[in-house]
Structure 1
Amino acid sequence: MQPILQKQIPYDALAQKPLPGIAPLEPADWLIFDDAYGAQMALRCALLKQRPDEVACLAPEALPAAQEALRAVLDRLSQREDFGVSEKVVVCPDGREVALDWNQPLMSLGQIIQEDICLLQKQGEEHVLTGAVLCFPASWTLAEKFQKPLIDIHIPVGEYDANIAKRVQRLFDGVRAGRPLWRKNALWYDDPTLFTPRSESAPRDPVPAKAGAYLRSERQSILRLPESDAVIFSIHTFVMRREDIL
């Protein structure tokens, strides 16, 4: 299979920033549509059809938040000329027509945008993952993280210590509707595969920067939904050949 790659990343993926590396994001820039849209969407649709239980989940109580997330995306897409948007159908730039299922809103989202979408809702003192469509996991498994709080979601990330956990929880508590935030990461891989689930008990061995053939970078956004008060953690995945980025 041909690797699905981008030719550019709209930020400096290799710039070093201390964790958690958060910056303000213009609401209009929340979703990204790049040169890999068609290929990424074809893979997403195949995964959602063939492996739905591995790439999507939703707690029953999170359905209103997931529906609000879908409405938020449709509102953003309705402002673009390359999408046709109605309450029942979305016509995508690659010509596909996606029939919207408001009882499975995350499954619909997964067929429309490149971003993976994670829903987190406050339960007690922490935000908990109550729903997600995650077609491009970077060495983690959705089933292990579903209905877990932030600190458990980040197992086995060594840098995610108690101090970072408190700072990230404050970010999720403090993000305001209409004022999203973003951060990025960058990791070297020797394989460009986008669907790379991995158990937290078998973490990936890091690929040294000098040896990696591909750079994988996620543009991660944090956005508050005003009605449900849920937080969307969205992930746009870029993969580039080493020679295209250095």
Structure 2
Amino acid sequence: MVDEVYGAQMSERERFLSERRSEVLDITEGAEPACEELLDAVLADLALRDDFEVSEGEVLCPDQRRVTVDRRDPLGTVGRLVQQDFCIHERRGDEHVMTAAVLCFPASWTLSEKIGKPLTSIHIPVPEYDGDVAKRVQRLFDGIKVGRPMWRKNANWYLDPDLFHPMRENAPRKQEVEGDYLRTERQSLLRLPKTQAVVFGIHTFVLRREDVQF
């Protein structure tokens, strides 16, 4: 998905990947095949679009950037091509574990605290995420079929329009904060056919209160 703020968001992503790479990208040992498969899937999708030009080793983007396809850095390449953040989850024992991610636009969580952890740990400190909910989410991940992605949306008010909004697990959580910016995420879940990894995609939108139609 490409929207009207593609250029502005990609400028931010380029900056974060250059200046704060360790905060926005991480890959655990053994996750490389899934990262490479995700890159291939993104390139295949972009090749079908009119606003991207995909050639051998390079992509011309809608904002006229030319992005080198670096297969030694698959997630970094993906992060420079599209607005979405991606978190890769792979089955490890009884649960799916976040094994890799490119997360330039975190919404009140921090990648370094979640990478390498199972779903139950990832959702700390969400109070509603009890044992029953955890089991349902795990069944959801198990049930995702190749070629049949799922998606949902969420929305929360923020005090500022910043896209980079990390928060530590032990940070105080303000209750009922009503800011002037509505941050929404179009979240998708899809399964990669070769590695069977589940990819959690996040496309972030930020709207001023006066632009929101109630």
Q: CA deviation at 1:203?
A: 4.3
Where do 4+ consecutive residues of structure 1 move more than 6 Å?
Answer: none
The number of equivalent residue pairs is 213
Residue 148 of structure 1 aligns to a residue whose secondary structure is: coil
State the alpha-carbon separation in 2 of the partners of residues 195 and 122 from structure 1.
28
For residues 147-180 of structure 1, the C-alpha deviation after alignment (integer angstroms, 9 at most, x for no partner) is: 0001110111112221111111101001000000
Residues 189-210 of structure 1, C-alpha deviation per residue, up to 9 Å, x if partnerless?
A: 11111101110010441444xx
Cα distance, 1:221–1:203 mapped onto 2, change above 3 Å: farther
Deviation at 1:33, TM superposition (A): 0.8
**1:124 equivalent in structure 2:** 93
Structure 1 Cα separation of the partners of residues 119 and 33 of structure 2: 21
2:190 is the alignment partner of 1:227: no
1:155 counterpart SS class: coil
Deviations 1:195-233 (A, max 9, x none): 01110010441444xx32011111110000000000100
The alpha carbon displacement at 1:60 in A equals 2.9
- Return the alpha-carbon distance in structure 2 between the equivalents of residues 117 and 42 of structure 1: 17
Q: Which residue of structure 1 lines up, in the alignment, with residue 179 of structure 2?
A: 212
What SS does the corresponding residue of 1:221 show, helix, strand or coil?
strand
CA distance in structure 2 between the aligned counterparts of 1:65 and 1:134, rounded to whole angstroms: 16
Could you state the TM-score of these two structures normalised by the residue count of structure 1? 0.84
Instruction: Look up the SS of the partner of 1:110 in the other structure.
Output: helix
**What is the aligned-residue RMSD (CA, Å)?**
1.0
- 2:67 is paired with a residue of what secondary structure? strand
Pick the aligned partner of 2:108 from 131, 139, 142.
139
More RCO (CA 8 Å, sep 6+):
1
Distance 1:205 1:173 in 2: 34
**1:218–1:236 CA contact under 8 A, matched in 2:** yes
Q: Distance in 1 between matches of 2:12 and 2:173?
A: 23
Match of 2:139 among 170, 174, 181: 170
1:14 match: none
CA contact (8 A) 1:56 1:134 kept: yes
1:185 partnered with 2:191? no
Is there any run of 5+ residues in structure 1 with no aligned partner, and where? 1-31
Residue 17 of structure 2 corresponds to 48
The alignment status of 1:241 with 2:197, answered yes or no, reads no
Given the alignment, which residue of 8, 26, 29 partners 1:57? Answer: 26
Change (3 A) 1:206 1:33: farther
**Matched residue type, 1:141:** T
List runs of 5+ in structure 2 lacking aligned partners.
none
Structure 2 SS opposite 1:212: coil
